[in-house]
Each structure stands twice: as C-alpha cells, then as structure tokens.
Amino acid sequence: MFRRCYKLLTGSGCGGGCSSNTINTLNNINIGVASPVVATPKKTKNLIGISKEDLTKQLTELGDFQSYRIDQIWSWIYNKGQKNIDNFSNLSNVQKSLLKEYYHIDYGTLDSDQLSKDGTRKILVGFSGDQVETVFIPEARRGTLCVSSQVGCTFGCKFCFTGTQRLVRNLNVSEILGQFMMARSLMNDFGHTTEKRLISNVVFMGMGEPLMNYRAASAALRIMTDPNGLSLSKSRITVSTSGVVPLIERLGKEFPGIGLAISLHASNNKTRSEIVPINQQWPIEELIKTCIEFSKLNTNKITIDKPEKIKEFASIIANAGLKVTIRQSRGQDILAACGQLKTESVKVKKTLPPQLATISE
C-alpha cells in the first residue's frame, strides 16, 4: 500500500493519465493529522451503593470471587475508605484487574467546603452536573452528618429554602452514600473504631424528602447499618419527614430501632396545610396515628412540644440534678441550618417525569 501511495504522489505509475488537479489534490493530503481509530472506553459501575447481594451475583459471574471476598471489598471501600482498587492488597492481581475493568469508586466532586464560626461544616458535593449540600455538626460527644436525599425537594413548604428550588431529581444510592464518604474522607475519619469516629450519627434532614425517594434512601440505610458496610447503629440514624404517612410504618418495620423526626410546624390542619402542603393529603390526625404505630415497632417515645414547654421541662430535669440538652440551630452564618439548604441545580425539563411525581418506592 505504501509503494502504491508513493507512485501516486510522485506521478509515476499514472501512465500519463493523471491530471494536474489529481496530482495537486494528492500532494495536499496531510497524512500526519489523520484521525486515529480510538476504542470507546467501557462504561464502569460505581462500587459505592451496590448492595452486597447484587455485588456477589455480579462478581460470581465475572470470575473466582468467593463470598468472603465481597466482605473484603466492602471493608476496603466503607471501612478503610480506599478508592484505589490496586491497593486492595488481599485480592489477587486477576481479581483487581477484573474489578478495574468493570467498576470504579466515586464519591462525587467537592465543589465547596465552608466552616461556620460555631464549627459547623457545609460541604457542596457535585453529582453528574447537579449539586447537593451536606452538613457536619460537631458536638462534645458526637458528630452528626446531615445528608440530602434529593436535588431540590418534592414539597414546597413555605418556610424552607430548599422548597423554593423545587425538585430537580432524586439522588441515587451512590450519591446519598457519596456525601457520607466525602465527609469522612475530608475529616480523615476512615479506619477508626466507633468510639473514635468524628462522624458518629447521621440524619436524613438535608435537601429533599427522603421518604419520597424511599428506594434509594432505604438502600443507603442498609449499607449504613451493615456491619461490613459503614457499620452505624440504627439508634444513631434519624430519618426526617414532612409526613409521608404510607412509608413511615414501612420504615419502622424494615429498620426497627431507627429514629424518626417529623417536621410538624403547626398543631392544627388549617395552619399546617398552608405552610406544609403535604398536610392536605395526609392531615395531622393520620400522621399522629401513624407515628403511634411506628413507636410500637421501636423503643423510642413520641414527643411533640412547644418551645416554652421544652424549656420548662428541661428546667425541671436540670433542677433535679440531671443533665439535659436542647438541640440548637447550628451553622446559620453559612446557611447550613435546617431549612436553609439550596443549590443552583435546576430542572432540565419543566414537567417532572412520572416516577418523580409520585413516591419513589
């Protein structure tokens, strides 16, 4: 082929039949900039968020991965915080090569990291062009991470800044867990015993309504509470809801011992329906009844009190010589307090897909 090209370019071998235009065209060919043939890279899956059952099935089909290998892989990811598969030292080179061929580990992108004067830390995490905020609240004996479950929010509660953004989309499992992994990585909090962890508690109180994204939220909870996963006690996790009644009892049955917080905000249906629109669908009477059923599945008691009653009760306990704590609003100077979270992510379409317009189970 090279010899034939040379003859054409030099004019030899034309038999006198080549026109000057043909020769000029051939002489203008720039061989050096010919586009190389590039293979399309294989799309890999994020190991963060894949359930142990699904990962076991997938890896068994790929090669020689015994069940205990899955526990080892989970330990590298969730306990040690290792993002480089090459450093999974108890796996063979063949196993590591297979993992790298089909999987990757990604927490999302760190887009912003703000520190409040009271020590509260607000982290802006990017996922596929969208952003969510997660907040770390340090206290004397515990550190609580507030995670988001949606980009924006399903409900437009009048007092909530997130509600003004409206719903962009649900987060998937890897994105919910990615917030936790990102925060733990930033704080060098991997590999510690429970007693020495900076992040000891998790609350689903960030952007979005977690029960309207139940499938992803519950899958994230399973990995959070798995001894080989993030190994958090259910008693250290609280899910906050505006009152998605059908899924409150389901949450209690699937995760006995988990905490539940209700965004009540009003004691009568008229006022609550005005500021919390979901109350029009599930009024206070239904919500309270469901909470009572939830409490039967757990050892936690239900408390619904006004601020002055809370202070009065706290004074009684303190005067009896016992320790009492009233939760304070934190991180207000960096807009990290409850109801202040919002990002610049917007909907791509004006109308919501059907699966986002209803409860995501």
Which positions are catalytic? Answer: 133, 338
Work out the burial of residue 307: count CB atoms within 10 Å of its CB; fewer than 13 is exposed, 13-18 middle, 19 or more buried: exposed
Distance between CA atoms of residues 291 and 59, nearest Å = 41
Of 166, 120, 190, whose CA–CA distance to 335 is shortest? 120
Q: Please give the single-letter amino acid code of residue 178.
A: G
Query: Is the separation of the CB atoms in 208 and 150 below 8 Å?
Result: yes
| Residue 266 CA from chain centroid, whole number | 30
Query: Hey, how many other C-beta atoms are within 10 angstroms of the C-beta on 255?
Result: 20
Least Cα distance to 95 among 71, 135, 63, 127 occurs for 63
**How many angstroms separate the first and last alpha carbons of the chain?**
61
CB within 8 Å of 86: residues ≥ 6 apart: 96, 100
Any residues with CB less than 8 A from the CB of 357 and at least 6 apart, and which? none
